[in-house]
Every structure is written in structure tokens, then in C-alpha cells.
Structure 1
Amino acid sequence: MRAWQRPVIPVLPGRSEAPLVFDTASNGLVAAETHDIARLYVCGITPYDATHLGHASTYLAFDTLHRVWLDAGYHVHYAQNITDVDDPLLERAAVTGVDWRALADEQIELFRTDMLSLRVIPPDNYVAVTEAVEPIARAVSKLWEAGLAYAVESPDAVSDSDIYFDTELASERSPWTLGDESNLDRATMLALFAERGGDPERPGKRHPLDPLLWRAERAGEPAWTSAFGAGRPGWHIECSVIALQHLGRDFTVQGGGSDLVFPHHEMSAGHAAALSGQPLAQLYSHAGMVSYRGEKMSKSLGNLVLVSRLREAGVDPRAIRIAVLGEHYRSDWEWTDAALAGAQRRLGTWSAAFAAHDRGTGEEGSARELLAAVRAVLHNDLDTPAALVFVDRAAEAGVDDNRLVVELLDALVGVDVRAGSARPGAQPE
């Protein structure tokens, strides 16, 4: 599947260091470095209600990582999935009376447009689950042959049984143990599993936390052929297979929102380790959750702020990007009208300070000092709020080389201050 157009990213003088990024698995900062190509996998959307600010926050976090890697001189191989067949999508299609494929296509195109407007670097491999069903089915067969998958009778299925992953056997036979990536106790795992699409109380399972690998066909649902009969992939196995197929085993960073820590990333890591004999990734990084009007932004609560609606209301996408990067990627935070207004003012100030003339009036070497300061804070766990403050100070004091600052903002912050002026006054509905 096609992604979206890649922005042109200036090459800056000197180099960044490989950043230190918080690793959920080890509960500490780890250097996101590699001896070859930096390989990044970020879990993609289920295409409905796209693109809300929670989505944008996650993809901008890992876009920052991508940009710092490029500034460090790395080549980056980025892969992302699209969960274009899953229960929530099918349920939304049924409620709205829209064909599920048409709904997915519409929302994927909207997501592309939003990512393009926010100047997010696109993945090299943008893969829909419906494009990867065959290799996923083969992976389930491989797990079955290894004794790590089993059948559970499905009375409501058209035929055959659902196939589950044996977490306890996989913990014994592979380099993964349940809990390695999430650092959670079993009680918390059980609660989150039930909350986030799992079925801990289903009869016939060997262990309450065993996840679904292959869902046997139900009446009225899409299905594909496999060695186990007609059906479709479970949620976690899709990312394991797509990541292994395009990035290989033990890649550099697995990324996503913090709501994916368990069960999704935990189980994806388990599947991949059982399939390849190696860890899924070297580092597991997660972005915080975004709330709005006092509640976590979520589809179920209906309190989503959509990037497309902000743009339709006249909000400059650069201001949206600045507002999001004004919060640290690992923090849980709240989107407010005041934060957006502040970002619009910031954009206007930067444009006025740096975009009009290549040469500035500040002290000699001040632009290079700003570049070094921004690189230093981005090296330390992608601290974008601190980076924006350094730029604010430079805008107030002036620098000797405006052109370098314009290119710095373009390359590391992802904001081109030359692209017109911010449009003040537009606010979310």
C-alpha cells in the first residue's frame, strides 16, 4: 500500500548522537543505536476515526526519533502496519451501514493527508493486514507445528476452531517470557487483557492470557483461507509477521502508544520470538496518552479532536505540530485551546524572527550554539519541549545565521517557518 510523500529534510552541519530513549522493557534510558541501519516499527491505525490527536502525538514522537537518527547520519528503515480488518472496524461499518473496505479506504486516505500536512516522514513499508494475510497464516501454521498453538472450539463459527498462542510453552521454549516487555504483574495483565480486546475467561483456553492467533470465520465477517479453514488473523500476530517480514528480527525500536504496552506489544514480541528464535526488538518505546476536556481522548468517549477538523477550521498544521511537540512524548497530557493558541503565537514569532532574512543580528556563533543545544536535549530522550524553549530564546535574542535556524527547525522540529504565516484565531470546535 502506498504511504504519502516524503518531506525534503535539510542536512545540517555536524552530527547528532544516537538518542537515549526510554525503554519500557528495561525501565530505563537506552541508546537507540545500531551498527547498520536503524530499523523502526510503529504500530499503525485501525482505520476509523482517523486522525485524532492521540494518533498524531504518537507518530510525531517517532518522527522526532527518525529525524534525530537521520541527523546522526543513520540510514533508517521504517515499517508500519494498518489494521484494516478487525472487530472495531467491522462494528463501525455495521453501525454506519458502510462497507468495511470502503470505510477503511476512506480513513486510510484521510490519515495519509493528515500525516502529509504534519510533515511526518512516511514509512518505507506501509502494509495493510489484508495484504499480509497469507504470510500471517503461514506463521500461525509454523507456531502450530512447533506445538505453540492450539485450537479452541468456536460454536458460533461457520466451521473449524479458533487458534490460540500458548504463552506458557512459548515462555519455556523461546527467548521471550510473558512480562518481559511490559514489566507488569499478572493481576495487571489480566485486567488490561480483558479491557483491551482479550478474552481471559473464554472456556477451552490453556491459560487466561493466551491470545488469539486466527479467528475462524463467523457469519457476515470477511474471511481468508488457511490451513485451519477460513478466518482472519488475530490482532498481535499481524504486527509480528509484518515486522519480521520487512525489518527482520531484533530490530532497533518497536514504537507505539502506551496503551499498546500490554497486551499488544507483549504478545507481538512473544509471537516473533517464537517464530524467529530472537527478540522482536532491541528497545520498546511508548508515547503517552492525550486527553481532552478532562478525559482520555478515545473513540468510546467520543471526545476526539481530529487533525482534519482542525485543518478544516483553518488551523495551520505547523501549529498543531508545535503544540504536540510542546509536550514530552512520554507524558500523559491534555489538549487545550490555550495550548493551540500558544503554538500559533510561537509559530508567528519564529517566522518573524528567522524567515525574513538569511543573515541575522545576533552574536557570532549563536546559531551554531542553538543547534548544539537542540541536539543535546533531543539526544536526552527526545526532549522536544526543551528544544522549543531554546528556539524561543534564540528568537528573542537573535542569532547570527537565520538560514541555519530555519534549516534546523525544518530538519529536527519538522516545521518550515518559511511556508507562509500562521493563521491565528482558529480554535477546535
Structure 2
Amino acid sequence: MTSNPQAAAGEPNPLRALTLDRLRCRTSMKWRTYPEDVLPVWVAEMDVPLAGAVVRAVTDALALGDTGYPAGTAYAEALAAFAEKRWGWDGLAVERTRIVPDVMLGVVEMLRLVTGPGDPVVLNPPVYPPFFQFVAHMDRQVVEAPLGADLRLDLGALEDAFRRAAVGGRRAAYLLCSPHNPTGTVHTAAELAAVAALAERYGVRIVADEIHAPVVAAGTAFVPYLSVPGGERGLSLMSASKAWNLAGLKAALAVAGPVSAADLARLPEEVGHGPSHVGVIAHTAALRDGTAWLDALLTGLDGNRRLLTGLLAEHLPAVAYRPGEATYLAWLDCRELGLGDDPARVFLDRGRVALSPGIDFGTGGAGHVRLNLATSPEVITEAVRRMAAALG
């Protein structure tokens, strides 16, 4: 696999484009959950203008009145071309894809294909909180295989979880977060091949949430799960929503490995009615024509990771931070500050800065917070200043 090329000359850093006053005009969750005196650096929305290619595509669709039901394979074709150019992967077959409303609803539908009510689903906490919520809501049993102390997959813990999940011949699945949210860990080809081997040994089906795949740091190579030996039995969910800030324009793709094509073919036809046609248009334009914008974003995020490292060293040296290899999220270990299991509450109450509470991410999350780096350097600087002031 090849690592992402970095920013094309002349494309401005989108993280520097909008002022805080302008951002506060937004009506989305990030900007309406807390009072105006709170600085929000929590939920995974980016403080950026949309890529020009996306704006043009959506504007043209609206001008044409092209707001009906989704159809065709343009989204899948754009993703396949992006995967080959970006990740060196030519195995994304358009005929083994289906449009789904978004990644998490796609995850639910994939788990329904390979498990039944009461069956176990293995998770790697600390992990994206909706994993727990959606799995529980669909009447599946969570089996935990916590990350190791190095924030990477613990293959021993994973094997133990697979063994427990598959006992008695139960149908079991593993919901893999790749890249991992909240740690920003990018799983290596060797790690993913080992996961595939374990899954084959214990009869566990893999469903991979790869929504953050385009957002990787310089010099890092993302490896699609379906590309590794043994990954042919897997199912993946991919989307342009995180990389291009399109969460409000619903659309994602379910992708099957060659051995899982028959599973994906059983997806109910009505699931494809859920995505937004305008969302599909936006995501297609992002993947096809928005890569220069993405490269400028990635360069800006690399700078923000360095900035945060320096700010913490200066103002909050007791906070442990290992810059992630992917995502635009920073996982901060605040246990040495003595703020208890939920330091985010202290930072909010005393510093008026909103971060994602680590306890929401499950085992291993207590004493941690997640900070959203997809904002301007000025906002990051102010966020750390407020966090430090909360300790005074």
C-alpha cells in the first residue's frame, strides 16, 4: 500500500479559512449543543468550508432539481478509483458494493447479514461510543477485546474474545474500527492478516468500519481490510463523510470481499432507499475531484498534531498524548491530573471547553478525553489554554 501524497501547491489549508464568529453561525450539533461561551472541540465535525468540487456538484444538482432517489454506481466507481490511486488497492469491485444510508446504519445491516439476535459482536474498547449503542439496540451481545497498553490491537485478547464469542458454534462477528477511533491507530497489513487468520480459525465474521481511511498522517499507509490475505470473507463500510465533512449529506458504501458477495446480495433492497441522492452526488464529487482539497487538509492536520504536542508540553505536561496516525481526533490521557474518571466534565465546568468524555468509549476510557483537531490553530491554542486554566 502507498501512503497518501501530501498537499498540492496552491490549495489553501481549509482549517484556516473560517473565523470563530463565522463558525458560530452554524446550526449543527457541534455548535448548538453547548452555550456560546463554550469552545466546542468534541464531536467529529470539521471547521472547514466544503471542497469546491462538492459545492459545485451539489449546487448544480439543486439548480437542476436533481433531488430524487439515488441510482447508479458512480459513487462506487469513484471510491474504487480513489482506492487504487490512494491505497494501491485494485480489489474494490463495483459489483460487490451497495449504497447504504451511512456507515453506522450500514454496520447494522452487515451485522444482521452475518449474525442473529443474541449473537456476540467483538469490540476493541476504548472505541467509538455508537458501536456499543447500535450493537445493544439490535439485540446483540458485546464481547470486549480491549486495546493493548500501546493502543494497538492486542491479538491475545482478540483471540480470547473470539474463542468466547464462538463457543457452542454461535454465529459471531467482530466490528473492526480501522483506522481506530479514538486513538488514531492505523492497523498494519501484518496485524490485519493476523486478525483474518484468527477469524478464520474461530469462524468469526469481520465487519470493518473504515470511515476514517482517507484521513491519515504523512508517511502512514492505510491498509483496507479486504485487501489482506484472508480478508476475502470480510465486509467493509466506507464513506467520504469524515474526510470531506459530509455527515449531513447521508451516503455510504458497503463493500464485500469475494467470498462475502453472497452475503451482501442478501441485503434488503429497501436499504438502498435510505441514502440521500444529493449525498451520493456530494460523496462522488469529493472522491473524484476533491483530492487536492483533501491533501491540503491532511497537511493542516499534520501541523495541528505538532501544535498540540507543543502546547501540551508547555501548558499541560502531565497530559500524555501520542499523535495518531490517522483521523483528526486526539486521545489525551489526563489521569495524572487527578480529575477523576471524567476530566471532560471538569474542563467543561471550569474551563468552558467541550471535549468528548473518555468514559463514553468504554473500557480504558476513564481519565481520558478526545479532542477534535479539525479546526484552526487558534482554536486549538485557546482550547489548551482553557484546559490549563481549569486546573487553577
Is TM (by shorter chain) over 0.5? no
TM-score normalised over the length of structure 2: 0.27
TM-score normalised over the length of structure 1: 0.25
